[in-house]
């Protein structure tokens, strides 16, 4: 994600400019509305770059504070989502640079992204087994996305998870649309390969038999031989 260019793009809609004016007038409810509108997309963007849940939350909070203090700089030359995305990216890159500097001096503990990820609430109508299966699949997907090259993660999240268009993704990241297309294609290919390897490994253990089940069947057969 290094050297992200910030290029000018299309003008924003009037409702976003109106929301900005309300916030600048001191209306905190309008700022809360802004955060709720963009929270999911911006958190996922931060999480894709940093690969750490807590760090992504902190980066997003710092980006919102920076946005609040610099709202007067927003002129509507880009969409509000784009402007906020760039602030989030800057916060994430700063944290990554600080992390790299600290690693050169003090050994760091493993990232929280390498531990079990926080579970997202499942569909209210899902059975416990279905919810568990989806949570397990989600964990696998998140780990595989974390393992992708840094330059691919944000593109994949914005295009495939948030379902932004190529143009919207290019606008948020400040990169050419063709770069978005090539990175997205490559990211999906790498993800499919990683998931295929996961399935291949899982297939070897399907319908597990060793251990307690094996011992139980042997014991029962011997028991029946002894006491027909």
Cα–Cα separations (whole angstroms), residue 216 to 165, 219, 221: 56, 5, 9
Rounded to two decimals, the pTM is 0.66
Q: Is 12 left (phi over 0), alpha (psi -120 to 50) or beta?
A: beta
What SS3 class is residue 125? coil
- Identify the burial level of 37 via C-beta atoms within 10 angstroms of its C-beta, where 0-12 means exposed, 13-18 middle and 19 or more buried: middle
Residue with more model confidence, 210 or 147: 147
Instruction: Render pLDDT for 133-178 as a digit per residue (tens, 0 to 9).
Output: 777 788 888 888 999 988 899 999 999 888 889 998 999 888 999 9
The tokens for 102 are 């600290």
Residues shown for the chain: 228
The pLDDT value recorded for residue 113 is: 35
Q: Where are the domains of the chain?
A: 14-226
Is residue 129 over pLDDT 70?
no
CATH architecture group of domain 14-226: Orthogonal Bundle (1.10)
Asked if 211 contacts 41 with a C-beta cutoff of 8 angstroms, the reply is no
């Amino acid at each position: 994600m290094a050297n992200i260019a910030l290029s000018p793009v299309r003008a924003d809609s009037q409702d976003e400019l109106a929301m900005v004016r309300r916030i600048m007038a001191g209306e905190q409810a309008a700022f809360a509305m802004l955060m709720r509108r963009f929270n999911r997309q911006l958190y996922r963007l931060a999480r894709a770059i940093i690969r750490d849940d807590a760090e992504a939350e902190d980066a997003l909070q710092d980006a919102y504070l920076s946005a609040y203090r610099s709202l007067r700089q927003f002129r509507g030359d880009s969409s509000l989502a784009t402007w906020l995305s760039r602030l989030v990216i800057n916060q994430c890159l700063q944290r990554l640079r600080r992390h790299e500097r600290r690693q050169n001096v003090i050994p760091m503990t493993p990232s929280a992204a390498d531990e079990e990820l926080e579970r997202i609430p499942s569909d209210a109508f899902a059975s416990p087994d279905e919810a568990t299966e989806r949570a397990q699949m989600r964990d696998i997907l998140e780990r595989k996305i974390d393992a992708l090259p840094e330059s691919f993660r944000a593109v994949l999240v914005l295009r495939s998870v948030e379902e932004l268009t190529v143009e919207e993704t290019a606008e948020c990241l400040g990169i050419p649309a063709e770069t978005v297309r090539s990175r997205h294609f490559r990211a999906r290919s790498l993800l499919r390969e990683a998931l295929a390897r996961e399935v291949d490994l899982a297939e070897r253990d399907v319908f597990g038999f060793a251990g307690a089940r094996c011992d139980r069947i042997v014991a029962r057969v011997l028991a029946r031989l002894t006491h027909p």
